[in-house]
A = this chain, B = another copy of it.
Amino acid sequence: MVNQVQRMDGGSQAPKSDSSGASNSGGESSKESSRCSTPLLDADRADRLREKMKRRIESGDRWFSLEFFPPRTSSGAVNLISRFDRMGSGGPLFIDITWHPAGDPGSDKETSSMMIASTAVNYCGLESVLHLTCCNQTKDQITAHLAKAKRLGLKNIMALRGDPLADVWEEEECGFNYATDLVKHIRWEFGDYFDICVAGYPTGHPEAESYEADLKYLKEKVDAGADFVITQLFFRAETFLKFVKDCRAVGITCPILPGIFPIQGYQSLRQLVKLSKLEVPEAMMQVIEPIKDNDAAIRNYGIQQAVDMCKVLLQSGDVPGLHFYTLNREVATMEVLKQLGLWNEDPRRPLPWAVSAHPKRKVEDVRPIFWASRPKSYIYRTQEWDEFPNGRWGNSSSPAFGELNDYYLFYLKSKSSKEALVKMWGEELMSEESVFEVFTNYITTQPNRNGHKVMCLPWNDDPLAPETNLLKGELEKVNRRGVLTINSQPNINGKPSSDPIVGWGPPGGYVFQKAYLEFFTSSENVTALLKVLKKYEPRVNYHIVNVQGKNITNAPEMQPNAVTWGIFPGREIVQPTVVDPVSFMYWKDEAFGLWIEQWAKLYEDESPSRMIIQYIHDNYYLVNLVDNDFPLENCLWQVIDDMFDLLDAPPQSLIT
């Protein structure tokens, strides 16, 4: 609570961004994703935030954006990143992250403003705006922050003055005294690289001599090089609409976005009023006071009030997009957006995986399938790849994957506590079959024998994807018998790109998949499987590897196998997912490593449970299978059935 109040007190308002990766209600990012290997436009220029806004304004397509503040604790950071993924799926044009001078905001700590914004861009694929305040900082410090932000792939800055340290304001000789100074400095040092947002005050800044004087300051900030304005919160639509009119009258022509604050509780409202020196209208207070102890009632009122005000704003024609002060909460803002019809419940995906919003990675359009459930790990392990040649991941054999110890990436830590994991994965394992049961329970979503649901596995931090759900029955059957599946996809023969479950890419297209299955299984099973696979040549491609790297495959040497692709009007073919033999060997290390790092280490050294996991790690094989005949019924289940039949047959069958 302290956090958001600090922010508002500082007089900062938030910028916005387009989740150009994970979701997009407009069509812009589709354009870039459909390019296969022929880069055509300088994506950086056409895709910068101000250009996206411009196109949205021209097309009349309204947007929303979301403001967050950095968390105070590590676990808070893990939760916030999950929230980014969830709220990103609704299709914000951008998010912004506030700057907390007291919290070491430019550091490498996982809770710093800088790192949270970088994570949003790089790992969550969200267009992000980083706040930056200038008072009490030297030019060099500010330049260093900006250079670091650029290096991390951040492209947008909300330029703010911030709060003076002393109660009495003293101008500094060579320092930055106003946001205007910061805007000028950014343009001077970084030219046109950053898109810049500044704050507007619909009722005037509390420290300004007058409303008119404050308008003049805003005009100066814009003239210095700001691209758009986000306002402080306000309680009446007319307050904002008058403000916009006054801005236009003094010659401010850039987009002005209203800051929306859905009231979420009595205490937070009181603190806000105190610190921001805003007055809550009398009529509003008369409604709130009687229900001040009823949190649900207050929140419902806040939602209704915000919806009503936003409707007026949108109908005015002067409001191209809405900016929400979320206070790092989901429910109220999502509800307002849903009621306004701005929440994109079923966002069309430009690609079947979330594109990173890092400028260098925007052109990326193909990835190995192995990291499908661990996209952040993939981005992390390939972050040193300077180029994605021709907009694709290219030849995996040249760029080096990040070291395996890199996978301790902070934001990849399980969202569940050690205690919760032990409950899900077993207090005490009795045998390999106990492990089979954990996998089976994860698939079926049935509680385990101690009554706990298995919500995640070391390789899958989330429940099964809707697409994988299509395979549930088959998956349950094979996991029960020790084919421990960690990744799969059904075959698809030309479904519309708009299909709610498997669709992706621009409208009017068709998407395709080859069936894929990846699992751990015992060496006995592998022996039988290899005999069975001979019958399925060349229909089925396989890679089979153990932790030592013993590798058995029938794949044409070093060639990736495309397993997801799409055909779209007026475009080249897009093939975003491949089974690649080279990267599989890197993935193998990570996949086997997770047995130990995430599972075995839950138990005491030398304990039977730990030894069972260690045994699996040491002796099982990681197998992937592709059925190349995508127009026919998936034969991979038959392959597994044949393997079991062979294992069940009298022993001599294994010799022949």
Contacts and interface: CB of A to CB of B under 8 A. Distances in A.
Interface of A: 31, 34-41, 389-390, 392, 394-395, 397, 493-494, 507-510, 512, 538-539, 541, 554-562, 565, 567-573, 575, 578, 626, 628-631
Given A390-B389, A573-B575, A578-B572, A567 B630 contact: yes
Contact of A41 (B557, B562, B565): B557
Given A565-B567, A567-B565, A559 B538 contact: no
A390 B37 contact: yes
B575 A538 contact: no
Given A40-B395, A390-B390, A559 B573 contact: no
Contact of A512 (B567, B570, B571, B628): B567
Report how many copies the assembly holds: 2
27 contacts: A34-B559, A35-B559, A36-B575, A37-B37, A38-B394, A39-B395, A40-B395, A40-B397, A390-B394, A493-B494, A494-B494, A494-B631, A508-B538, A508-B628, A510-B630, A539-B569, A541-B569, A554-B570, A555-B570, A556-B571, A559-B571, A559-B572, A561-B569, A561-B571, A570-B628, A573-B573, A573-B575
A631 to B, nearest CB: 6
A507 B628 CA distance: 11
Contacts of A626: 570
A625 to B, nearest CB: 12
Contacts of A556: 31, 570-571
A343 B352 CA distance: 46
Nearest to A628: B569
A634 to B, nearest CB: 15
Contacts of A558: 40-41
A33 to B, nearest CB: 12
Nearest to A568: B628
A574 to B, nearest CB: 9
A548 to B, nearest CB: 25
A565 to B, nearest CB: 5
A445 to B, nearest CB: 34
A572 B567 contact: no
A561 B555 CA distance: 30
A570 to B, nearest CB: 5
Contacts of A510: 630-631
Contacts of A392: 37-38
Nearest to A555: B570
A561 B567 contact: no
Nearest to A392: B37
A489 to B, nearest CB: 15
Contacts of A493: 494
A552 to B, nearest CB: 15
Contacts of A572: 559-562, 575, 578
A539 to B, nearest CB: 7
A508 B632 CA distance: 12
A390 B366 CA distance: 15
A538 B394 contact: no
Contact of A570 (B34, B40, B538): B538
A565 B509 CA distance: 15
Given A390-B390, A556-B571, 17 more contacts: A37-B37, A37-B390, A37-B392, A40-B395, A390-B394, A494-B631, A508-B539, A510-B631, A541-B570, A554-B570, A559-B571, A560-B572, A562-B573, A565-B573, A567-B630, A569-B628, A573-B573
